[in-house]
């Protein structure tokens, strides 16, 4: 079999993280989402077709090209289909037609969500299949309308009235007959050509079996990286390859990369992952789940709680980072704080594409993207985001997104 991974989307809801990094390369447990997908497909496919935008006009897409080109996985070939602009998932799969017209069955995956290996294996056992998961907020998802014997009838995008609560996870096994339904490719309300319209037309003449799951982790907003980390970290293999100095207290599990050191007086509780060539402490406090990338520093009396630090992030002095994400090469000035709780304990909201979105979280800090430098004693309100390479003044209060 072959697999198509749709990776040409702009990931605007994940901004500011996706301004500098394509969404499929955002890390989960220090491994890109895209690599999680590739590893889940091992043994099921011999070729993966990646749909990306034109790298010459979008440096983030060049990063995907470069990343795949440095992978060396025996028995697995990669092919790129490059589109001038992202016109929707339906257009993306249609561009792959020359490489799929002889394929009785092939996988299609959205390139920015996490899928369980076992679920993809279940999908492969059916002639045609689609992954579905029950949700509490069906109005936010594509909903699978099914027959009594678990066959797909239709996919309704973000229904305005109740048609069910089984969400489309964006993982399919389809066949070459899909390309017989060109008439279904009409621009949607969003102005895009939707794969779901094509699949709905395909389902009228072909049985598509619903494979239920509870394992799908959608990554639609930045805080979903924190939620996915909480789910996945328990599955991680915890090994110590670095150095732990005397008088370090570990109340939980620690994965420590080579060349990293946990210095004296540091206190770690819960699940903590530290990459390679990092310095933690002395007297740092990590409250898991915490994931720290390579070449990071969390030093004297700094506290990091339920957060993710990308490669090269620095918290070199006393500071509090809670329920937050720090991008690559962020530097946190002395005494800085990411506030993560409202006084009324209400849900924290944040602006996404000029709309105020409820995160559903009562604790949520900041999203600080690549290259940001925080002046000493910067205070950031809950749910605020800082765009790449911005700086703050000493004592600055960040009460709105900084772009």
Which pLDDT score is estimated for 187?
Answer: 86
Is the predicted pLDDT of residue 358 greater than 90, yes or no? yes
Q: Give the pLDDT band of residue 339 (cuts 50, 70, 90).
A: very high
Cα–Cα distance measured from residue 144 to residue 362, given in angstroms and rounded to the nearest whole number: 30
The H or E element that residue 223 is part of is helix 223-232
**Which pLDDT tens digit goes with each residue over 273-293?**
999 999 999 999 999 999 999
**Inter-axis angle of helices 117-124 and 33-41, nearest 10:** 40
31: tokens are 């491994």
Is the predicted pLDDT of residue 116 greater than 90, yes or no? yes
In this prediction, residues 361-366 reach a mean pLDDT of 98
69-73, 128-132, 165-169, 247-251: segment of lowest average pLDDT = 69-73
**Which pLDDT tens digit goes with each residue over 231-272?**
999 999 999 999 999 999 999 999 999 999 999 999 999 999
Residues contacting 20, CB < 8 A, separation 6+? 60, 327, 328, 369, 370, 371, 388
Is the predicted pLDDT of residue 189 greater than 90, yes or no? no
Total Cβ atoms within 10 A of residue 214:
8
Which pLDDT score is estimated for 94?
Answer: 95
**Nearest CA to 330 among 295, 364, 280?**
295
pTM of the model: 0.95
- Average per-residue pLDDT for the chain: 96
Is the predicted pLDDT of residue 102 greater than 90, yes or no? no
Is the predicted pLDDT of residue 402 greater than 90, yes or no? yes
Which pLDDT score is estimated for 86?
Answer: 81
Please count the CA atoms within 13 angstroms of the CA of 31 that sit on its side-chain side: 15
Q: Give the pLDDT band of residue 57 (cuts 50, 70, 90).
A: confident
Is the predicted pLDDT of residue 130 greater than 90, yes or no? yes
**Nearest CA to 312 among 336, 279, 287?**
279
Which pLDDT score is estimated for 85?
Answer: 83
Is the predicted pLDDT of residue 58 greater than 90, yes or no? no
Longest dimension (CA), the chain: 69
Q: Would you give the end-to-end CA distance of the chain in angstroms?
A: 44
In this prediction, residues 147-172 reach a mean pLDDT of 94
Which pLDDT score is estimated for 303?
Answer: 98
Is the predicted pLDDT of residue 191 greater than 90, yes or no? no
33-47, 177-191, 215-229, 272-286: segment of lowest average pLDDT = 177-191
Share of the chain above pLDDT 70, in %: 100
Which pLDDT score is estimated for 190?
Answer: 82
306-311 long-range contacts, Cβ below 8 Å, gap at least 24? Answer: 306/226, 306/230, 306/363, 307/226, 307/365, 308/27, 308/225, 308/226, 308/229, 310/27, 310/370, 311/275
In this prediction, residues 380-402 reach a mean pLDDT of 98
Instruction: Could you list the beta-strand ranges (E) of 9-90.
Output: 27-28, 31-32, 47-53, 77-83
In this prediction, residues 62-67 reach a mean pLDDT of 95
In this prediction, residues 54-74 reach a mean pLDDT of 92
In this prediction, residues 114-137 reach a mean pLDDT of 97
């Amino acid at each position: 079999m072959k697999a198509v991974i749709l990776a040409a989307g702009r990931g605007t809801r994940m901004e500011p993280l996706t301004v500098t990094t394509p969404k499929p390369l955002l890390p989960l447990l220090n491994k890109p989402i895209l690599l999680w997908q590739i590893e889940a497909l091992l043994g099921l496919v011999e070729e993966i077709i990646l749909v990306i935008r034109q790298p010459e006009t979008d440096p983030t897409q060049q990063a995907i090209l470069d990343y795949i080109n440095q992978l060396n996985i025996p028995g697995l070939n990669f092919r790129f289909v490059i589109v001038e602009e992202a016109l929707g998932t339906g257009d993306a799969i249609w561009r792959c037609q020359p490489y799929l017209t002889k394929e009785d069955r092939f996988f299609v995956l959205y390139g920015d969500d996490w899928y369980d290996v076992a679920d993809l294996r279940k999908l492969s056992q059916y002639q045609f299949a689609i992954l579905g998961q029950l949700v509490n907020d069906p109005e936010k998802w594509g909903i699978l309308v099914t027959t009594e014997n678990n066959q797909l009838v239709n996919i309704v995008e973000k229904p305005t009235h109740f048609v069910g609560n089984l969400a489309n996870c964006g993982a399919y096994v389809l066949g070459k007959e899909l390309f017989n339904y060109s008439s279904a490719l009409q621009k949607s309300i969003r102005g895009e050509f939707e794969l779901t319209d094509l699949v709905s037309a395909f389902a009228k003449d072909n049985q598509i079996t619903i494979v239920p799951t509870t394992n799908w982790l959608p990554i639609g907003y930045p805080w979903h990286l924190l939620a996915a980390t909480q789910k996945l970290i328990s599955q991680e293999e915890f090994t110590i390859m670095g150095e732990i100095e005397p008088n370090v207290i570990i109340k939980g599990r620690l994965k420590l990369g080579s060349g990293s050191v946990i210095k004296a007086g540091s206190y770690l509780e819960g699940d903590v992952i530290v990459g390679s060539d990092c310095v933690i402490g002395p007297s740092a406090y990590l409250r898991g789940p915490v994931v720290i990338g390579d070449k990071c520093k969390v030093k004297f009396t700094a506290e990091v709680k339920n957060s993710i630090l990308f490669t090269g992030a620095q918290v070199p002095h006393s500071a509090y980072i809670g329920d937050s994400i720090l991008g690559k090469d962020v530097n946190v000035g002395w005494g800085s704080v990411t506030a993560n709780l409202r006084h009324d304990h209400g849900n924290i909201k944040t602006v996404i594409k000029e709309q105020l979105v409820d995160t559903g979280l009562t604790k949520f800090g900041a999203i600080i993207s690549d290259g940001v430098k925080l002046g000493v004693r910067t205070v950031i309100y809950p749910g605020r985001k800082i765009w790449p390479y911005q700086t703050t003044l000493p004592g600055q209060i960040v009460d709105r997104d900084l772009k």
